[in-house]
């Protein structure tokens, strides 16, 4: 579904990603772990097309098309969803209206029927249950005055509504207490199918106890330095990132 | 979403779509301003003597203001001095003496209004809108007059009212905005050429939205219209005005005066969609929109609401106000003001609480993009006898990009300690991160911006008649095209 080959990217002329390779198939969950500042969010943003990130070399193919050639909204319409590490406030715009606009934009681009407010409301109420959030949240302005936990749940709700093919979740667990973490994780698990894929970016191992990955990759200093199965996460939990943070020669290849 | 990308892009190619000029023969007053100009205008309009006398008094007062060099300078706007001798004060399309029906209106003119999307056609009756159209200085056609007259409603041009109901004009003209009120009000009183007049008799609920459409066409012309609306006891009227002008490199002056009078239990809703030519990107050309609008809640339990969507003009200087004289009367001001490019707007309201238990509500939404500069200036004054006066003020700003400015200047003068005043304000900025977040959910930047602006303005748009709310949304979208990214 997604193939990243030797991806280099920079911000303001500073190289952040220094040759990332990664291949994700439908039905798989990949975890990318790494210390702060290693480039995890940069990778997520580059895949989603955030302005200001310059791809200096490498390719990204998504469903056979050149992902980097698409505008951010085109990527979203093609089924790429990014759950933001720091969700953005959209003042004055009610969440239900915001979501309906996004949902309909996706529907339209696929030649599917757009939903009127009543029909959409029905769908939204159902998704609110799936991810177990307070329905009152949908009547508030997007992320405005939301607590950290509410913002993360809101991202899950949006994912549940937009039903992406490739969901990139950038630290959906940061800032959550144990209960909130469990709810968010349940939400994520409820959305996993054999058709879609998950790229879960995290600093800590703990969410991986709930959302069990098929593959774990360690990203350090803009490169994937090690890949493995779910046990790699536990190893990092006990040993930390220290041993990977020494300058190394070549990046290790990711599993094919 | 209502608009697609391609639609928006194609529309965006035309920066100001109302900028065409109609090629029509006009009856034009000689350039410049002196007593003879005023006599010329008054004679042209066959006015009663009292009218000419009033104009001349206003003119003499204005001359003293010019001599004392007292153009208003307190507003947060800047422009070169205006040469008042370099303006044409009267321009009318040459036409037949009196128009009996729309069929007699110059087809070229009708086409102009068609291009502007104004429903002059009587068929638009279904839309429930009656229209008076002012082209340069004179009123061109008033539709549905018969229908309205069945209810005893008078809705016609100011000139016609002066011929047919001089008594009503004489009684009310200048009673809310005296000619001595300010520099531009004095100028308007001296040279105003036409405008709309509206009279709603006792107990009548006006069945149609009354609409006036103003259009400046001739170059170097100033437009000075005067609108007077009188709502008798227990009556209701909703009135809407729209404005546009051709694109020209030189600035044109628009100095209008609007007076509203609401008697006991009467309600007047006055809405404006102002889209005068704003000038080009570098600030060349555009309309100077210096307007005095004021309503008097004269009667008990009366209500006056101003709703305005100001998207055009190089400079807007405008403070629709309400004098809350009758006990239990209500004044409201709902405003969206957009400035982009080099536009400047200094706008707000004055709520003057005179009677007891009077209430006022001010919702102001300023949007700035490009290098636009937007100032909210408001005054809430509570007089000594206004027991239990209440005011709620909210003035919010939305900044698009980082080169624009927003300022709020609320003044409060309270001379009665039972008054209760509340004030809220917030500022938000539309930035790349916000737009990217929206893009990531599948929205195009245009649609995202439109969503954000609609969210920001919804309390004001909700106050507009439905079809005008749609128009207002569209105007804001068009005006903001290309402001970001
Ligand atoms: N706008 C920016 N300009 C310059 N450097 C940046 C910018 N944003 C992030 N960085 C740098 O890029 C590196 C990677 O950041 P990020 O992708 O956010 O890491 P992570 O998500 O793994 O914590 C960090 O060193 C960070 O300081
Ligand atoms: Mg990060």
Condensed to tens digits (0 to 9), the pLDDT of residues B312-364 reads 778 888 899 999 999 999 999 999 988 887 788 888 999 999 999 999 999 99
Going by alpha carbons, the residue nearest to atom 26 of ligand 1 is: A37
CA distance A142 to B154: 48
Is B6's pLDDT higher than 50?
Answer: no
The arithmetic mean of pLDDT across residues B81-105, rounded, is: 64
- At residue B216, the pLDDT reads 58
Going by alpha carbons, the residue nearest to atom 24 of ligand 1 is: A37
Q: From chain A, pick out residues whose CB is under 8 angstroms from the CB of B7.
A: none
ipTM of the complex: 0.94
Of the listed ranges A57-71, B115-129, B436-450, the one predicted with least confidence = B115-129
Residue B59's Cβ-side half-sphere holds a number of Cα atoms within 13 Å equal to: 20
Q: Is the CB of A11 under 6 A from ligand 1?
A: yes
Task: Report the chain A residue with the minimal C-alpha distance to residue B450.
Answer: A93
CA distance B225 to A158: 52
The arithmetic mean of pLDDT across residues A125-150, rounded, is: 91
Strand segments, DSSP code E, in chain A are 2-11, 14-24, 29-33, 53-62, 65-66, 80-83, 166-170, 197-202, 215-220, 223-228
Residue pointed to by tokens 């892009």: B9
Q: Which residues pair with B238 in a beta bridge?
A: B269
Is B475's pLDDT higher than 90?
Answer: no
Those of residues 436-455 in B touching chain A at CB distance below 8 A are 436-445, 447, 451-452, 454-455
Is B107's pLDDT higher than 60?
Answer: yes
CA distance B477 to B447: 9
More confident residue, A117 or B279: A117
Domain map (residue ranges) of chain B: 431-485
Q: Which atom number of ligand 1 is nearest to the Cα of residue A45?
A: 17
Is B462's pLDDT higher than 50?
Answer: yes
For A73, the closest of B426, B439, B485 (CB atoms) is B439
pLDDT digits (tens, 9 = 90+) for B199-238: 999 999 998 888 877 665 555 566 788 999 999 999 999 9
Is B52's pLDDT higher than 80?
Answer: yes
Architecture of domain A2-244: 3-Layer(aba) Sandwich (3.40)
- At residue B104, the pLDDT reads 59
Q: Which atom number of ligand 1 is nearest to the Cα of residue A35?
A: 22
Is B408's pLDDT higher than 60?
Answer: yes
- At residue B118, the pLDDT reads 55
- At residue B133, the pLDDT reads 66
Going by pLDDT thresholds of 50, 70 and 90, the confidence category of residue A145 is: very high
- At residue B7, the pLDDT reads 34
The arithmetic mean of pLDDT across residues B6-18, rounded, is: 40
Residue A247's Cβ-side half-sphere holds a number of Cα atoms within 13 Å equal to: 0
- At residue B58, the pLDDT reads 96
- Answer yes or no: are the C-beta atoms of B29 and B37 closer than 8 Å: yes
* Residue B7 sits at the chain A interface (C-beta within 8 Å): no
The residue among A72, A165, A166, A167 with the most chain B CBs within 10 A of its CB, best to mutate, is A72
Q: Per the CB < 8 Å rule, is A73 touching B444?
A: yes
- At residue B26, the pLDDT reads 61
Report chain B's mean pLDDT, rounded to a whole number. Answer: 81
Q: Per the CB < 8 Å rule, is A76 touching B439?
A: yes
pLDDT digits (tens, 9 = 90+) for A194-219: 999 999 999 888 889 899 999 999 99
CA distance B188 to B254: 9
Inter-CA distances, B183 with B186, B291, B322, B324, Å: 5, 11, 20, 24
Going by alpha carbons, the residue nearest to atom 7 of ligand 1 is: A11
Q: Which atom number of ligand 1 is nearest to the Cα of residue A40?
A: 22
- At residue B143, the pLDDT reads 61
- Answer yes or no: are the C-beta atoms of B355 and B342 closer than 8 Å: no
The residue among B401, B424, B438, B440 with the most chain A CBs within 10 A of its CB, best to mutate, is B440
- In 3D space, the residue among B341, B337, B351 whose CA is nearest the CA of residue B371 turns out to be B341
Burial of B52 (0-12, 13-18, 19+ CB in 10 A): middle
CA distance B276 to B253: 11
Count the Cβ atoms, other than its own, within 10 Å of residue A125.
12
Q: From chain A, pick out residues whose CB is under 8 angstroms from the CB of B436.
A: 48, 50-51, 72, 88
Going by pLDDT thresholds of 50, 70 and 90, the confidence category of residue B10 is: very low
How close B244 comes to chain A (CA, Å)? 30
**Percent of chain A whose predicted confidence (pLDDT) is above 70:** 96
The arithmetic mean of pLDDT across residues B233-256, rounded, is: 78
For A158, the closest of B426, B433, B441 (CB atoms) is B441
Burial of B459 (0-12, 13-18, 19+ CB in 10 A): middle
Domain map (residue ranges) of chain A: 2-244
Report chain A's mean pLDDT, rounded to a whole number. Answer: 90
**d(CA A83, ligand 2 centre) in Å:** 11
The arithmetic mean of pLDDT across residues B2-20, rounded, is: 41
Q: Is the CB of A44 under 6 A from ligand 1?
A: no
Going by alpha carbons, the residue nearest to atom 3 of ligand 1 is: A11
- Answer yes or no: are the C-beta atoms of B396 and B364 closer than 8 Å: yes
Q: Is the CB of A202 under 6 A from ligand 1?
A: no
CA distance A52 to B436: 11
CA distance A22 to A255: 8
- At residue B96, the pLDDT reads 42
Report CA torsion sign: A220, A224, A226, A228. positive
Task: Report the chain B residue with the minimal C-alpha distance to residue A84.
Answer: B437
- Answer yes or no: are the C-beta atoms of A92 and B455 closer than 8 Å: yes
């Amino acid at each position: 579904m997604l193939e990243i080959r030797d991806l280099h990217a920079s911000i303001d002329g500073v190289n952040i990603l220094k040759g990332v390779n990664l291949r994700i198939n439908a039905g798989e969950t990949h975890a990318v772990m790494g210390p702060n500042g290693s480039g995890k969010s940069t990778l997520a943003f580059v895949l989603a097309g955030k302005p200001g990130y310059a791809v200096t070399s490498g390719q990204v193919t998504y469903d056979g098309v050149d992902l980097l050639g698409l505008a951010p909204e085109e990527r979203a319409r093609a089924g790429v969803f990014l759950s933001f590490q720091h969700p953005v406030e959209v003042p004055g715009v009610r969440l239900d209206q915001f979501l309906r606009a996004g949902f309909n934009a996706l529907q339209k681009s696929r030649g599917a029927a757009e939903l009127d407010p009543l029909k959409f409301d029905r769908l939204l109420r159902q998704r609110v249950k799936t991810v177990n959030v307070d329905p009152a949240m949908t009547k508030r302005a997007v992320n405005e005055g939301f607590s950290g936990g509410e913002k993360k749940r809101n991202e899950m709700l949006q994912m549940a509504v937009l039903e992406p093919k490739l969901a990139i979740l950038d630290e959906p667990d940061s800032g959550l207490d144990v209960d909130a973490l469990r709810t968010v994780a349940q939400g994520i698990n409820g959305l996993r199918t054999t058709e879609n894929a998950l790229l879960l970016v995290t600093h800590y191992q703990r969410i991986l106890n709930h959302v069990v990955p098929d593959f774990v990759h360690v990203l350090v200093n803009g490169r994937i330095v090690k890949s493995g199965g779910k046990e790699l996460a536990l190893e990092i939990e006990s040993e930390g990132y220290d041993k990977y943070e020494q300058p190394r020669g070549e990046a290790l290849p990711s599993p094919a | 979403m209502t608009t697609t990308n391609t639609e928006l892009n194609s529309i965006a190619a035309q920066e100001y779509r109302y900028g065409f000029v109609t090629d029509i023969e006009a009856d034009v007053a000689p350039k410049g301003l002196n007593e003879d100009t005023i006599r010329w205008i008054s004679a042209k309009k066959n006015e009663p003597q009292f009218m000419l006398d009033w104009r001349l008094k206003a003119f003499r007062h204005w001359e003293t203001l010019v001599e004392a060099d007292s153009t208003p300078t307190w507003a947060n706007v800047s422009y070169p001095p205006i040469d008042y001798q370099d303006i044409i004060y009267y321009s009318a399309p040459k036409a037949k003496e009196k128009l009996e029906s729309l069929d007699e209106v110059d087809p070229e003119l009708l086409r102009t209004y068609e291009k502007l999307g104004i429903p002059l056609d009587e068929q638009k009756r279904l839309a429930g809108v009656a229209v008076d159209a002012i082209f340069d200085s004179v009123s061109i056609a008033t539709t549905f007059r018969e229908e309205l007259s069945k209810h005893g409603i008078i809705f016609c041009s100011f000139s016609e009212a002066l011929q047919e109901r001089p008594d009503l004009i004489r009684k009310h003209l200048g009673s809310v905005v005296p000619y001595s009120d300010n520099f531009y009000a004095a100028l308007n009183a001296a040279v105003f050429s036409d405008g709309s007049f509206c009279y709603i008799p006792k107990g009548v609920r006006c069945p149609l939205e009354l609409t006036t459409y103003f259009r400046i066409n001739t170059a170097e012309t100033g437009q000075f219209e005067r609108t007077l609306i009188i709502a008798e006891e227990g009556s209701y009227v909703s009135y809407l005005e729209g404005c546009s002008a051709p694109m020209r490199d030189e600035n044109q002056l628009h100095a209008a005066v609007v007076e509203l009078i609401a008697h006991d239990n009467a309600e007047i809703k006055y809405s404006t969609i102002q889209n005068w030519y704003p000038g080009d990107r570098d600030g060349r050309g555009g309309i100077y929109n210096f307007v005095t609008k004021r309503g008097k809640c004269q009667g008990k339990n009366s209500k006056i609401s101003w709703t305005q969507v100001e998207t055009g003009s190089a400079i807007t200087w405008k403070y629709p106000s309400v004098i809350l004289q009758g006990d239990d009367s209500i004044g409201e001001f709902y405003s969206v003001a957009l400035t982009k490019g080099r536009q400047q707007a200094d706008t707000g309201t004055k709520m003057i609480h005179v009677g007891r238990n009077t209430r006022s509500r001010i919702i102001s939404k300023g949007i700035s993009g490009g290098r636009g500069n937007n100032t909210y200036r408001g005054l809430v004054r509570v007089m000594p006898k206004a027991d239990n006066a209440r005011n709620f003020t909210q003035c919010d700003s939305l900044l698009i990009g980082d080169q624009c400015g927003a300022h709020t200047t609320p003044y409060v003068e309270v001379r009665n300690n039972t008054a209760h005043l509340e004030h809220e304000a917030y500022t938000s900025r539309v930035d790349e991160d916000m737009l990217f977040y929206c893009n990531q959910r599948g929205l195009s930047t245009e649609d995202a911006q439109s969503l954000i602006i609609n969210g920001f303005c919804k309390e004001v748009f909700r106050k507009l008649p439905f079809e005008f709310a749609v128009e207002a949304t569209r105007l804001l979208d068009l005006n903001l095209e290309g402001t970001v990214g």
